[in-house]
Amino acid sequence: MYERLQRFLYGRYGTDKLNLALLIVGLLLSLIGSLLFWPVTFLADALYIWALFRTFSRNIPARQREYAAFLRFWSPIEGWLRTRKVRFSQRKQYKYFKCPSCRQELRAPRGRGKIEVTCQKCHNVFRTKT
């Protein structure tokens, strides 16, 4: 049985982040559809079918193009979320602020009082409180 499944899946595209995103959005839409507006569940079902189609597809170059287009959209969002997560986890150790002239994000250790900061990007000097 395992060998038959393995032979069936050989040469198929498989899963990636886009499939995971489709399944998560489909799950959210089906929850919304079950609670509020039931026709939304049809859209959720369409997303599930699209994810299954992508998983079992043999047209790998087309799936890679879809995935590259998705990453062009998702990568900036993922980077922003990762930055926010790091800032949140370090909020007790560091004070984050922006340079008033170039808007570069900077950080300084907390508990130093009033300090004079030199921006590494534009070399603007300004005072701030940590």
- Same-domain status, 82 and 106: no
- Same-domain status, 22 and 71: yes
When pLDDT is cut at 50, 70 and 90, the band that residue 8 belongs to is confident
Residues 95/106, Cβ–Cβ less than 8 Å: no
Instruction: Let me know if residue 2 belongs to a domain.
Output: no
- Same-domain status, 101 and 126: yes
What are the beta bridge partners of residue 126? 117
- Same-domain status, 43 and 56: yes
For the chain, where are the E strands, in sequence order? 94-98, 105-109, 114-118, 125-129
Domain that residue 116 falls in: 92-130
Quick: pLDDT tens for 30-67.
Answer: 998 888 878 888 999 999 999 999 999 999 999 999 99
Instruction: Let me know if residue 7 belongs to a domain.
Output: no
The encoded tokens of residue 45 equal 């079902």
Question: How many domains is the chain built from?
Answer: 2
Instruction: Let me know if residue 60 belongs to a domain.
Output: yes
The encoded tokens of residue 69 equal 């287009």
- Same-domain status, 100 and 60: no
* Pairing of β 125-129 and β 114-118: antiparallel
Measured distance CA(102)–CA(89) in Å, rounded: 25
Instruction: Let me know if residue 124 belongs to a domain.
Output: yes
Residue 77: is its pLDDT beyond 90? yes
Instruction: Let me know if residue 25 belongs to a domain.
Output: yes
Say which DSSP state 39 is in. T
CA 108 to chain centroid: 27
- Same-domain status, 39 and 60: yes
